[in-house]
Amino acid sequence: MKDITFPPDLKSHSEGTGPIRTQHPIYADLLPPCNNACPAGENIQAWLALAQAGKHEAAWRVLMEDNPMPAVCGRVCYHTCEDQCNRGHIDNTVSIHAVERFLGDEALKRGWKIDRVTVPTGKRVLIVGAGPSGLSAAYHLALMGHYIEVREAGPLAGGMMHFGIPAYRLPRKELEQEVERIREMGVSIVFNHKVVKVLEEKEEGNFDAVFIAIGTQLSRKIDIPGRDAGKILDAVTFLKQVEEGNAPRLGRRVAVYGGGNTAMDAARTVKRLGGSEAMIIYRRDRENMAAHDFEAQEAMDEGVKINWLRTIKEIDGGSLTVEIMRLVDGKPVPTGQYETLEADNLILALGQDADTGFLNNVPGIAFKPDGTVIVGPDMMTGNQGIFAGGDMVPGERSVTVAIGHGKKAAHYIDGYLQGDSYISATKQPVVNYERLHRWYITHAPRTEQGELPAELRNGNFDEVRAGLTEGEALFEAQRCLSCGNCFECDGCFGACPQNAIIKLGAGKRYIFNYDQCTGCAVCFEQCPCHAIEMVPGA
């Protein structure tokens, strides 16, 4: 315990109660569950606190310390932070992603910029791939003062954000603006440059380190008898063609095979292209599907039919023979019963793999059986100075996970370049709902985002979800419980029977006068957010 020096007038009023104390309180900043669950490592509670005070730019700047694309993530992140939000035990979780989107959009509207004030280090880093992971790494490394060059095989930045997520979920204007802000920081992005020989390009460009983040652009294949007889596309190619303005001609009835988010996007895109019938064929049920439930619900709202517990056995022209499945311990098992479905086209959405074959000849790099690249805890491959992240390494795949990989890799790359290993900060214990003292909480259900009516969605790619207004964002931010961290409610200050708590002023919190404190724990018992811990000792 650090010694605390009190003003003389406080010492002179000591009642001498310290010797009888067997425990004493301390102010402890514990870890909110939302922060703990964020794949990008955002300090969610900190920027929500600023947002609830109406300090929008300050909140955005805290956000940008961890995530360079809040307008994007506020739209496409699957907000695992909200799954853990303690507010869900009371009424509804805080709509964290919607507030993040509001801040991201506000920054674009008002032209807020991140100043690159770091003195250049003279170090050069090559980043392969301009998807979410590569862009995140570029942003953080640029802030650290390194020269960054991103080499992208395609004509645009964004990777699967641009070519895999339809515009009705992620409008291109906001994506392009957030990418441009990264470029304005001095990051060079070279398009239509496919890196094939990593070590040669590293040496020729005099790069000190390489971060590879090529994503997953290859659709998985499946052997279906008679498949050549039908008109078959893969979902990744289909969505990319639509984005490029070269949508393939489809028949009236289109089937999508798969149950992930990409399958939902493909089917919803079919409806927007004028397909009168779009159906999904999936071997599990809704409870066990790979897609997020809200994705399936939105697809069904738009008229997509989902054939649960079905798997394709054979294709014969425009007919699909499907077998009915049943679930045993969550796994699909054949029943021997068959149906025939009619479809003019079939889109395969069975997952994607990374095209990592170009790394086979790089000494030290190892692969999983699925082709993903094995990296250490520091995101480095088996070849010194070559790092990898995003969808091409084993683990969960999402935009926010990829952004988190980019930030994490940037810290380790910076440590590698500086010859000083990066050590991540130790996490505090997580504050669960049971540890909160909930006497002050009133019910305040969350503000739901508006939606474009389902009947107006077909035939266009207009954004489905609306953003929050300033007032709605303020209200939503104010629903945060500030789990584990003092928000200066004055509860401890007012409750202490010994006047042992000293208020230091706005933003400075409080300290304990342990000469006055008896260890009665009244402050601990009333602290609504569990920012006070009682520890043994006089």
Write the pLDDT tens digit of every residue in 469-511. 999 999 999 999 999 999 999 999 999 999 999 999 888 999 9
Q: What is the per-residue pLDDT across 340-385, written as a single tens digit (0 to 9) for each?
A: 999 999 999 998 888 888 999 999 999 998 889 999 999 999 999 9
pTM for the model stands at 0.90
Of 278, 288, 285, 347, nearest to 312 by C-alpha is 347
Predicted confidence at residue 4, as pLDDT, reads: 40
Establish whether domains 35-112+451-478 and 225-352 are of one fold. no
Q: Where are the domains of the chain?
A: 8-29+486-536, 35-112+451-478, 124-217+355-418, 225-352
Of 101, 69, 75, 97, nearest to 180 by C-alpha is 69
CATH number for the domain whose boundaries are 124-217+355-418: 3.50.50.60
What kind and span of H or E run contains 162? Answer: helix 160-163
> β-strands 147-151, 124-128: how paired?
parallel
Q: Determine contact, residues 6/510, Cβ cutoff 8 Å.
A: no
Directed axis angle between helix 261-272 and helix 293-301, to 10°? 20
Task: Please report, as a single letter, which amino acid is at residue 530.
Answer: H
DSSP code per residue over 317-384: TTEEEEEEEEEETTEEEEEEEEEEEE-SEEEE-S-EE---GGGTTSTT--B-TTSPBP--TTSB-SST
Of 354, 414, 416, nearest to 384 by C-alpha is 416
Alpha-carbon torsion (298, 304, 307, 312), positive or negative:
negative
Phi, psi of 454 (to 5 degrees): -55, -35
> β-strands 501-503, 510-512: how paired?
antiparallel
User: What is the architecture of the domain spanning 8-29+486-536?
Assistant: 2-Layer Sandwich (3.30)
Predicted confidence at residue 3, as pLDDT, reads: 42
Q: What is the average per-residue pLDDT within 64-89? A: 96
CB atoms within 10 A of CB 21: 14
In terms of Cβ atoms closer than 10 Å to its own Cβ (0-12, 13-18, 19+), residue 159 is buried
CB atoms within 10 A of CB 432: 14
Q: Determine contact, residues 141/413, Cβ cutoff 8 Å.
A: yes
In the CATH hierarchy, which fold is given to the domain comprising 225-352? FAD/NAD(P)-binding domain (3.50.50)
Q: What is the per-residue pLDDT across 227-272, written as a single tens digit (0 to 9) for each?
A: 665 688 999 999 999 999 999 999 899 999 999 999 999 999 999 9
What CATH homologous superfamily does 35-112+451-478 map to? Alpha-helical ferredoxin (1.10.1060.10)
Of 433, 443, 442, 428, nearest to 529 by C-alpha is 433
Helix (H, G, I), strand (E, B) or coil at 188: strand
User: For residues 463 and 457, what is the distance between their CA atoms, to the nearest angstrom?
Assistant: 9
Spatial CB neighbours of 111, under 8 Å, sequence gap ≥ 6: none
